[in-house]
């Protein structure tokens, strides 16, 4: 037999994944940090990753706000400015386009950057919240503006509406994601290692309910790739537009 070159193999996987997407009606796309890498959002696991920095370790728990309000606010305001200066990349745009082609598509993400919505994604299920929303835990205020990241109602320091370490996920968002995983016929993992809960559970839920699985990630996903109908190894900003081009 002629050895299959990596290019041929990727091309065959793209064809297979495109055919699966074309046949699917209810699609769930589960995305993680890899989707936003090309937009310049630092990921958790990169060598220069956000969570390697001392500041991130100091300000990743909600109680850090009481311990050091000005340090906490400064850290999260910097995170917000990174996100606000970022633009959606072709991967985000392709997922928004997929949702237009298949309106029952649910976009579930671990990312807190809001870039899927900015790209035109509808009703994005943000499992870890959004850096673009802030709230006041002191008085419960959830509506801005937040001048100097303070609450206008009670004067307390505000915080981003993201799930910090030690906090529970939003139960309603999680339930919507679980129901979507149960009801979908195709579950597509994009740029997520899917190791932490609930990311680890949702693809298994979809598989248990008869959905097909497609994985798209830079690195192998040993716990998922064996169960996948198509495995795409590469960058989402490159491969997602190619997938969508095949559907047109």
Applying CB under 5 A, the residues found at the interface with Zn ion are 136, 138-139, 141, 151, 153-154, 156
Tokens of residue 35, six digits: 């989707």
CB atoms within 10 A of CB 75: 18
In the bound state with Zn ion, the residue whose beta carbon lies nearer, of 30 and 134, is 134
Strand, helix or coil for residue 132 = strand
DSSP character at residue 185: S
Nearer to Zn ion, 79 or 149 (CB): 149
Catalytic one of 92, 128, 149, 157: 128
As measured in angstroms, the least distance from the Cβ of 138 to Zn ion is: 5
202: tokens are: 């949702």
Token pair, residue 196, equals: 């932490």
Q: In the complex, what is the shortest distance from the CB of residue 134 to Zn ion, in angstroms, rounded to a whole number?
A: 11
Residues 6+ apart with CB under 8 A from 226: none
C-alpha dihedral, 55 to 58 to 62 to 66, nearest 10°: -110
Measured from the CB atom, the residue of 158 and 221 that comes closer to Zn ion is 158
Contact yes or no for 229/207 (Cβ under 8 A): no
Neighbouring residues of 95: CB distance < 8 A, sequence distance ≥ 6: 29, 31, 35, 107, 116, 119, 121, 190, 240
Q: Which is nearer to Zn ion, 141 or 204 (CB)?
A: 141
CB of 114 to Zn ion, least distance (A): 23
223 a catalytic residue: no
Q: How far is the CB of 153 from Zn ion (least distance, A)?
A: 5
CA nearest neighbour of 107 among 96, 115, 91: 96
Least distance (Å) from Zn ion to the CB of residue 139?
3
Bridge partners (DSSP) of residue 232 are 216
Question: Shortest CA distance to 14 belongs to which of 238, 182, 230?
Answer: 230
Closest separation in Å from C-beta 157 to Zn ion: 9
Nearer to Zn ion, 45 or 138 (CB): 138
Residue whose CB is less far from Zn ion, 92 or 159 = 159
Of 99, 131, 101, nearest in space to 113 by CA = 131
Show which residues are catalytic: 128
């Amino acid at each position: 037999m002629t050895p299959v070159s990596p290019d041929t193999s990727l091309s065959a996987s793209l064809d297979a994944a495109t055919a699966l997407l074309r046949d699917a009606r209810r699609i769930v796309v589960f995305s993680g940090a890899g989707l936003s890498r090309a937009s310049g959002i630092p990921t958790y696991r990169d060598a220069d990753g956000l969570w390697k920095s001392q500041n991130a370790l100091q300000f990743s728990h909600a109680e850090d706000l009481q311990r050091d309000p000005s340090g906490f606010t400064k850290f999260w305001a910097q995170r917000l400015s990174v996100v606000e200066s970022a633009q959606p990349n072709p991967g985000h745009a392709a997922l928004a386009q997929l949702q237009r082609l298949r309106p029952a598509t649910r976009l579930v993400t671990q990312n807190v950057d809001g870039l899927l919505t900015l790209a035109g994604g509808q009703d994005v299920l943000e499992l870890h919240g959004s850096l673009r929303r802030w709230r006041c835990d002191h008085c419960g205020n959830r509506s801005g503006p937040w001048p100097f990241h303070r609450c206008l109602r009670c004067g307390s320091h505000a915080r981003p509406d993201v799930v910090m370490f030690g906090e529970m996920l939003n139960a309603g968002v999680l339930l919507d994601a679980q129901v979507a995983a149960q009801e979908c016929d195709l579950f597509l993992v994009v740029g997520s290692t899917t190791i932490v809960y609930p990311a680890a559970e949702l693809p298994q839920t979809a598989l248990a309910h008869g959905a097909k699985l497609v994985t798209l990630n830079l690195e192998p996903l040993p716990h998922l790739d064996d169960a996948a109908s198509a495995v795409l190894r590469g960058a989402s900003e490159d491969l997602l537009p190619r997938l969508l081009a095949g559907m047109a």
